[in-house]
Amino acid sequence: MLYYLFEYLDKAIDLSGAGVFRYISFRAAMAVIVALVISLLFGGRWISFLKKQQIKESVRDLGLAGENLKQGTPTMGGLIILTAILLPTLLFARLDNIYVLVLLLATVWMGLVGFLDDYIKVFKGRKAGLAGRFKIIGQIGLGLIVGLIMWHHDEVKVRAEAQDLQGLAIQEELRTFQVSNPDGSIKQMVDFKAPVTTIPLIKQWDGSYGTLLGLFGKGLEQYAWLLYIPLVIIIITAVSNGANMTDGLDGLATGVSGIIGVTLGVFAYVSGNSIAANYLNIHHLPGVGELVIFSAAFTGACIGFLWFNAYPAKVFMGDTGSLALGGIIGAMAIVLRKELLLPILCGVFLIENVSVMLQVGYFKYTKRKFGVGKRIFRMAPLHHHYQKMGMHESKIVTRFWIVGILLAILTFTTLKIR
């Protein structure tokens, strides 16, 4: 909102300094600061309210060290994160930008699903919370909406040189125009719609779901949505559940999500900048640079929440925060056409999810085959396995953060090693 106010002041009365709001870097910096301030100011008051209302976590007895210290810790702290994301974004981002609107929708949508889950746990006394099928329905619903917007909305477009589009299955060509090169030559540019993505370690940037389907038969390119939209749903569901699984130790999910948020913010900046996108040979996505502001608010909110959530935690985010963080990350990666990088970037979420699936699958298999269920890990998700080994909680969290940083660096590296 402030963007439009200062744009008016700059044009109408030539207010000195008002033009600084045109710069994404300035607005991103302000978003980080405001998100931090909101987290710190609102967070303390919200925690006091939660304590007063006895809105606390009912910790299951898993036989883990320090578990008794967590009993009675306030939950639903995810509202601190959501507030610190939404307010700076509304203040500093352009609200006519479709990408910003998609991420705001993802934040509110998954936040509501998580809030409903926490509400049932706390106020209805049902430890299981919202039934799993309803969580899945919420995740599928968001994935379907995001997929349809990415497929149909005219402002969701890719820009490239005309010569680079040969052999690419284009959904729709929006406009063609000319641009002058520094040497005086002219290049033909095209804005088009197509379900394209960045393929890790492959130099050719125009990985297209339509082109992939075309390999199986002529004319199948037009049915690319049958591949693309279900994939969007799967990604959002998987990442959201991965973040939820990771939220088991103080500061773990918050810190890992903050690292991912910074990485996606860098991707948003380079994808929205024609020079940087051309240099890195990735998709130039006009308008996606506004997501730098959203990413900045996201990162600031995570860092601010860590003030209260670091060991020993004064508040838990609950599913209100964890489901929302995962949904946001999944949606942002899809919008940035970087969804195929998620197994690397979200490697911590992935291994937490996989550890649970392996544990459950192996237990069921051995019980059916031998009559006695056996386990691969001492406990799943993986972070509990290390707790059972006697490792201190803060050490586990720090090491997972380090792994998250290494995975983020590796994700950036894939853009050059192709």
Please provide the DSSP assignment of 155-218 as one string: T--EEEEGGGGTT---SEEEEEEEEE-TTS-EEEEEEEE--EEPPTT-S---EEHHHHHHTTST
Residue 25 lies in domain: 2-413
Handedness of CA 143, 144, 147, 150 (dihedral sign): negative
Question: Is residue 418 in a domain?
Answer: no
Question: Is residue 230 in a domain?
Answer: yes
For residues 241 and 257, the answer to whether their CB atoms sit within 8 Å is: no
| Predicted pLDDT of residue 65 | 59
Dihedral, 130, 136, 142, 146 alpha carbons, nearest 10? 160
Question: Is residue 388 in a domain?
Answer: yes
| Predicted pLDDT of residue 203 | 67
| Predicted pLDDT of residue 64 | 65
Number of domains in the chain: 1
| Predicted pLDDT of residue 22 | 83
| Predicted pLDDT of residue 8 | 64
| Predicted pLDDT of residue 60 | 61
| Predicted pLDDT of residue 143 | 97
**What residue type is 85 in one-letter code?**
I
For residues 181 and 270, the answer to whether their CB atoms sit within 8 Å is: no
pLDDT in tens, the chain (418 residues): 776 666 667 667 767 666 777 889 999 999 999 999 999 999 999 999 888 888 877 666 566 655 666 777 888 999 999 999 999 999 999 999 999 999 999 999 999 999 999 999 888 877 778 888 999 999 999 999 999 999 999 899 998 888 777 767 788 888 898 887 777 778 888 888 888 888 887 765 557 888 888 778 777 888 888 999 999 999 999 999 999 999 989 999 999 999 999 999 999 999 999 888 888 888 899 999 999 999 999 999 999 999 999 999 999 999 999 999 999 999 999 999 999 999 999 999 999 999 999 999 999 999 998 888 899 999 989 999 999 999 999 999 999 999 999 999 999 998 877 6
51 vs 98: CA distance, rounded Å? 39
- 402: CB partners within 8 A, 6+ apart: none
Question: Is residue 297 in a domain?
Answer: yes
Residue carrying the six token digits 């010569």: 163
Q: Does residue 408 sit in helix, strand or coil?
A: helix
C-alpha separations of 269 from 179, 197, 283, 291 in Å: 21, 17, 12, 8
**What residue type is 111 in one-letter code?**
G
